[in-house]
Amino acid sequence: MSQQIATRIFAVKTTGGQEKTVAKFVGDRLEKRKQEGKSPQVQSILVLEAQKSYVFFEAPNAQAVSDSISGFKHVKGMVPGYIQFSDIEKFLVEKSMITDINVNDIIEIIAGPFKGMRAKINRVEPQRNEVTVILLDAPYQLPVTVEVGSIKIVSRAVSSTSTSTAPTGSGTLQP
């Protein structure tokens, strides 16, 4: 009969840029314990590129994580409590930005020869993961096709379904 042990995710604060080093050292320590016949309680180690200075450990309790990280140079300490899976799930599943982009959105190009220029989206091509934009910083309308990964949305297009509530009239006040 196999017994299922519930695990939780614990965060460990590390020196910035040393997340992979800490994960490798802890992984090596756990592998050594496994070869010695001891059962390591840490199930997995996770380093997220988006979360600098943190390494995540899956273990049944905080004591197991504390034992596995003790004595390492770049470990600052454990974050109190445990992390909900839903908090880190958004970093694990990469969502395509193409679904959030609409025609007439204002974007900034963040990579390539037009880096730093602002543009308005003219056409979205979801199959190719590209958008065609009109550069706003150019003296004339210049359509350019760029990959979705090299743009950042600055402002959303105003929806055409909204109604204007501004008063109409000549703009002069009557006493």
Give the integer Cα–Cα distance in Å for 136 and 143: 10
Which of 114, 112, 161 has its CA nearest to residue 134?
114
CA 118 to chain CA centroid, Å, is 23
- Does the pTM exceed 0.75? no
Of 58, 77, 92, at which residue does a domain stop?
Answer: 92
Task: For residue 121, give its domain range.
Answer: 97-155
Of 77, 92, 107, at which residue does a domain stop?
Answer: 92
Q: Do 88 and 101 reside in the same domain of the chain?
A: no
Q: What is the residue type of 172?
A: T
The count of other CB atoms within 10 Å of the CB of residue 95 is: 8
Q: What is the pLDDT of residues 140-170, one digit of tens each?
A: 888 999 999 889 999 988 765 444 444 444 4
Let me know: does 65 contact 59? Beta carbons within 8 Å: yes
Residue with tokens 């969502």: 95
Q: What is the CATH number of the domain that holds 78?
A: 3.30.70.940
Q: What is the pLDDT of residues 77-136, one digit of tens each?
A: 999 999 998 888 878 776 677 888 899 999 999 988 999 999 999 999 988 889 999 999
